[in-house]
Amino acid sequence: MARMKFLCDAERCIDCNACVTACKNEHEVPWGLNRRRVVTLNDGQPGELSVSMACMHCTDAPCASVCPVDCFMQTADGIVLHNKDMCIGCGYCFYACPFGAPQYPQTTNFGSRGKMDKCTFCAGGPQGSNSPEQFEQYGRDRLSEGKLPICAEMCATRSLLAGDGATIGAIYKERVLKRGYGSGAWGWSTAYRDSPTVV
């Protein structure tokens, strides 16, 4: 069975933001919500590295744990989804998320921060259908069409990998060994509590 994961090969990421706009495009994500973003470390200096980051769909997801209404679920593939109808917009999931994935339409929490929005691994929402209602709320469900997340499918340099963890771990390992360097799989062990080096 596949366990879906993300891996961003920082040695290849050039901060082109294709992943960012592809996600926006595919799911019509409104202005102000950034499901995916590219962070550049050591900007402008030797040793500069860019990493594309969104929800990592963690094992034992902290967001799911702290949610007061338990609106999160994890599919059999390991994808962490949440139910926007139940979300009360309290913001705790953002405090718990190591990766800053949850996004909110409102900035103040008076009443609510609005329905939390985040990367769905292009798996749509909990309804499990590709209906217009689900698209409206969560965006498109690519996985049910046999496709992978659009951010990784459109990455300019094949830096961002998405798919079965064993497969993408193997691809990354192959690259690192072949080219002789690699800065590491940022966030992998924080998210998945294992190592990308597959035996």
Partner 1 sequence: MLTRRRPPAAPRSQSAVAAPAALDRRGVLRASGLAAAALGALGTLGVSTVKRAKAGEVVPGVAEETRKSVCTHCSVGCSVIARVQNGVWVAQDPAFDSPINMGAHCAKGAAVRELTHGDRRLKYPMKLVDGAWQRVTWDQAIDEIGDKLLDIRQKSGPDSVFWLGSAKFMNEAAYLFRKFGAMWGTNTVDHQARICHSTTVAGVGNTFGYGAMTNSYNDLANAKAIMVMGGNPAEAHPVSLQHLLRAKEINRARLIVIDPRFTRTAAHSTDYIRIRPGTDIPVIWGILWHVFQNGWEDKDFISQRVYGMDDVRTEVAKWTPDEVERVSGAKGEELHRVAEIMAKNRPSTLIWCMGATQKTVGTANVRAYSILQLALGNMGRSGGGTNIFRGHDNVQGATDMGLDVTTLPAYMGLDETAWRHFCRAWDVDYNWMVGRFASKKLMETKGIPSTRWFDAVTIDKKLLDQPDNIRAMVAWGHAANSITREPVMRDGIDKLDLLLVVDPHPTTFAISTTRKNGAYLLPACTTFESAGSVTASNRSLQWREQVVKPIFESKQDIEIMYLFAKKFGYAEQLCKHIGVVDNVPVVEDILREINVSCAATGYSGQSPERLKLHMQHQADFDPVTLLATTGPNKGEYYGLPWPCWGTPAVKHPGTPNLYDLSLPVMRGGSGFRARWGVERNGVSLLADGVYPVDSEIKGGYPEFTMAVLKKLGWDKDLTAAELATINAIAASNGTPDNNDKVSWQIDLSGGIHRVALMHGCAPFGNGRARANAWNLVDAIPIHREPIFTPRRDLIAKYPALDDRRDYRMPQLGKSLQAIDHAANFPMILTSGRLVEYEGGGDETRSNRWLAEIIQEAYVEINRVDAARLGVKDRGMVWVYGASDNSRAYLRAHVSDRTGPGVAFIPFHFGGVWQGQDERHRYPPGLDPIVLGEGVNQLTTYGYDAITHMQETKVTLCRVEAAA
Partner 2 sequence: MIFRLVPILMAALLLIAAPARAIEIQSNQPSDDTAALLQKLDVSRMPDRTQGFVHIQDQKAGVLIQPVGRIFRDVHSIGQFWLDAAFIIVAVLSMAALYFLVGSMDFHRDEKGRTILRFTGFERFIHWLVASCFIVLGLTGLNLVFGRSLVQPWLGDDAFAELTHLGKLAHNFLAFPFIAGLAVLTVQWLKHNLPDRTDIVWIKMAGGMFGGPHPPAKKFNAGQKMIYWAAVLGGGALVVTGIALMVPFALTDILGMQLIQVAHSLIAAAMIAVVIGHIYLGTLGVRGSFEAMSTGRVDINWAREHHPLWVADEAAKGKLGPNYL
The residues that touch partner 2, with contacts defined as CB under 8 A, are 11, 17, 34, 37-43, 46-47, 49, 51, 53, 62, 65-71, 83, 85-92, 94-100, 107-113, 172-173, 176-177, 179-190, 195-197
Closest distance to partner 2 from the beta carbon of 19 (Å): 13
When binding is defined by CB under 8 A, the residue of 148, 184, 187, 194 that contacts partner 1 is 148
Angle (CA) 38-43-46 rounded to 5° is: 125
Stretch near partner 1 under the rule CB under 8 A, chosen from 42-50, 93-101, 109-117, 189-197: 42-50
Q: Are 23 and 53 in contact (CB under 8 A)?
A: no
143 binds partner 1 (CB under 8 A): yes
Q: Which is nearer to partner 2, 8 or 162 (CB)?
A: 8
Candidates 151, 147, 156, 90; CA nearest to 119 is 151
Instruction: Give me the phi and psi of 64, to 5 degrees please.
Output: -65, -35
When binding is defined by CB under 8 A, the residue of 77, 90, 114, 184 that contacts partner 1 is 77
The set of long-range contacts for 71-79, using a CB threshold of 8 Å and a minimum separation of 24, is 73/126, 75/123, 76/1, 77/1, 77/2, 77/3, 77/4, 77/123, 77/143, 78/2, 78/3, 78/4, 78/5, 78/165, 79/4, 79/120, 79/121, 79/123, 79/143
111 binds partner 1 (CB under 8 A): no
Q: Which is nearer to partner 1, 87 or 111 (CB)?
A: 87
Closest distance to partner 2 from the beta carbon of 13 (Å): 12
Q: Which is nearer to partner 2, 143 or 176 (CB)?
A: 176
| Partner whose footprint covers residue 137, from partner 2, partner 1, none (CB < 5 to 8 Å by kind) | none
Q: How far apart are CA 192 and CA 114, in angstroms?
A: 28
